[in-house]
Structure 1
Amino acid sequence: MIIKKTLPAMLLAASVSLASAMPASAQEYMFTYSKLYTHMKQNAKEGHDDVKVGFFFLDPVSQQLCSIEKAWMEKEEHYEELKISPSNEVIVPLDSNLRSANPLVFVHTPDNQQCDFSMVVMTKEAMEGEVSYKQVESLLPQMQVMLEQLGGMFASWFTPDVTGVTLEFADNLNSSIKLSSGETKAIVDGKVQVALAELGEGGTMTLPEATIRVLPYIPKEN
C-alpha cells in the first residue's frame, strides 16, 4: 500500500493512476511490494506480449515525468537497489517469493517537486522511424485487455475503447510526425496522440526520433 494516503485506481485515457502518492518525507515514497505485485502480475499473463504495466512518477502540474533519483527494496537486513530506465520507469522484479516476503519499496524523487505515483499500460518496446498501421493495430486489443484486467471484475463494461496510441518523446520535444497521407501531427511538449483511423489501413507514420513511452489513446468524451 501507499503510505499516508491511498485512493482507488482509475482508468485514464493514457494511464491507470493508482493514486496521488503522498511522500513519507519531502522526496521519499514508500509502498508494500505485495500491492505493486497485484498489478505487475498482469505482465506474466498471455495475450498481451507487446504491452506491460509500468510504474512512474508524474508531476501533476506539468504532466511531465519526474526524475527518479534512487529506488530500492528492503526488509530487515535484506536490501536490493532497483533499476531505473532511461524514461524514469521504476523497474520492480516480478517474483512470487518477494510477494510472500513483502518488502517495502522506497522511491526518491527530487525534494523540490511534488510527484504523483502513476501506473500505466505501455508498450515494451519503443517506436521509431516508420511505423505501420498494422503495428499500431496489433497493440490496441492488447492494451484494451490489460486495461480491463487492471480494472477488475466487470471492467469490460465501462472501460472506454482504445482507438490509438499516445506517443511520448524525451526532453519535451516540439516537432511533428508525418503521415503517409501527407498530413502532419504536431508533437507538443513531447506528446502526440494518433488514432488508428488517422493512419488509414495500409498507412504509415514517420517519427522524428524514438519514443520514450507509447501509451493507449482513448479520446475524451464530449
Structure 2
Amino acid sequence: MKGITALALGLVCASFSINAAAQEYMFTYSKLYSSLKNNNKPEYPDVKVGVFFVNADTKKLCTIEKAWMEKEEHYELIPSSDINELLLPIDENLKQANPLVFVDTPQDTRCDFSLVVMTKSTLSDQVLYSDVEKLLPQMQEILESLGGMFSSWFTPEVAGVTLEFANNLNGFIQLSSGSDVEIVNGKAQVSLAQIGKDGWMKLPEETTRVLPYLPTAKK
C-alpha cells in the first residue's frame, strides 16, 4: 500500500443503497471513538487520525454527501471538510450514548472506509527538515496505538511523509541538496533522509493531506 495509510481495524461497516441518490455506510460511534480519541491527546500536537472514504477502483477520495448520528429521537448532522474528511465530534458522553453514525457517498461507487494518520495542518512553500522530523515519532506512536497490543513488533517504521496535492498534480518537489522528488497524480513520498539534516524541501503548492511514508509496508 505504498507507504500510506488505511488501517483495517475491524470496524463493522454496512454498505447498501438507500435510494437513487447515495450509498449509505453505518457505524457505531464507540468503534470510531476508540481510534479518534487519539486526536485529543496532548502528546500528538501535530498529528491526528482522519476518517475518509476511498473509491475502491480509482483510490481517490469519495465525496461525503451527507453524514449524521442517530439515537432514538436524537438526530445530528456531522460536517465534512473540503477534502471530504468526516469531522466526527470526539466526546466521552457520545461514546456512552453510542449513537449510530451514517455516511452517504455517491450512488454506484464502492467507497472503502479509510482510517488514516495525518497531520493536523497542511504544508506549503519551504518545509524544513525539523518540520518533518517532529512529525515522524507522533505518526509512529499513533499507528502503533491503533494497532493494539504488541503492534510495535509489526508496525512499519515511518521514514518520511506522503504528500498529497489537489487536482492530480504532476510536478516536482525541490530539495536543498539540488535533487528533486517527482509528484505523480497528486502524490509524492519524501523520506527524512532525502531532505537531509539542516535541509529543506520546496513544495509547488499547498498539500491537501500529509500522511506517513512507510517504505517497508506490504505493497
TM-score (norm 2): 0.91
Alignment-derived partner of residue 164 in structure 1: 160
Alignment-derived partner of residue 58 in structure 2: 62
Give 1:17 deviation, angstroms: 3.5
| Residue aligned with 1:61, SS | coil
Is the contact made by 2:2 and 2:217 (CA closer than 8 Å) also made in structure 1? no
2:89 maps to 1:93? yes
2:65 maps to 1:73? no
Alignment-derived partner of residue 117 in structure 2: 121
Alignment-derived partner of residue 34 in structure 2: 38
Is the contact made by 1:179 and 1:203 (CA closer than 8 Å) also made in structure 2? yes
| Correspondent of 2:178 among 171, 178, 182 | 182
Give 1:74 deviation, angstroms: 1.2
> Is 15-24 or 113-122 further displaced after alignment?
15-24
Q: Structure 1: any 5+ residue segments left out of the alignment?
A: 1-10
Structure 2 Cα separation of the partners of residues 154 and 13 of structure 1 = 21
Alignment-derived partner of residue 211 in structure 1: 207
Is the contact made by 2:36 and 2:49 (CA closer than 8 Å) also made in structure 1? yes
Give 1:123 deviation, angstroms: 0.3
2:20 maps to 1:24? no
| Residue aligned with 1:23, SS | strand
2:10 maps to 1:14? no
Alignment-derived partner of residue 101 in structure 2: 105
| Residue aligned with 1:97, SS | helix
Q: Describe how 1:42-53 pairs up with structure 2 within 5 A.
A: 42-53=38-49
> Is 141-150 or 59-68 further displaced after alignment?
59-68
| Residue aligned with 2:15, SS | coil
Structure 1 Cα separation of the partners of residues 3 and 43 of structure 2 = 21
Structure 2 Cα separation of the partners of residues 179 and 19 of structure 1 = 39
Amino acid at match of 2:166: A
Cα deviation digits, residues 66-91 of structure 1 (max 9, x gap)? 11111111112211111111111000
| Correspondent of 1:154 among 141, 150, 155 | 150
Amino acid at match of 2:97: A
Cα deviation digits, residues 62-120 of structure 1 (max 9, x gap)? 21111111111111221111111111100000001111111111111110211000000
Q: Structure 2: any 5+ residue segments left out of the alignment?
A: none
Is the contact made by 1:18 and 1:117 (CA closer than 8 Å) also made in structure 2? no
Number of equivalenced pairs: 212
Structure 2 Cα separation of the partners of residues 62 and 18 of structure 1 = 22
Give 1:12 deviation, angstroms: 8.1
Structure 1 Cα separation of the partners of residues 120 and 89 of structure 2 = 15
Moved segments of 4+, more than 3 Å: 17-22
2:175 maps to 1:173? no
Is the contact made by 2:173 and 2:180 (CA closer than 8 Å) also made in structure 1? yes
Structure 2 Cα separation of the partners of residues 174 and 214 of structure 1 = 17
Give 1:22 deviation, angstroms: 4.6
Cα deviation digits, residues 12-58 of structure 1 (max 9, x gap)? 83112446955132610011101001111111223211000000001
Structure 2 Cα separation of the partners of residues 50 and 105 of structure 1 = 26
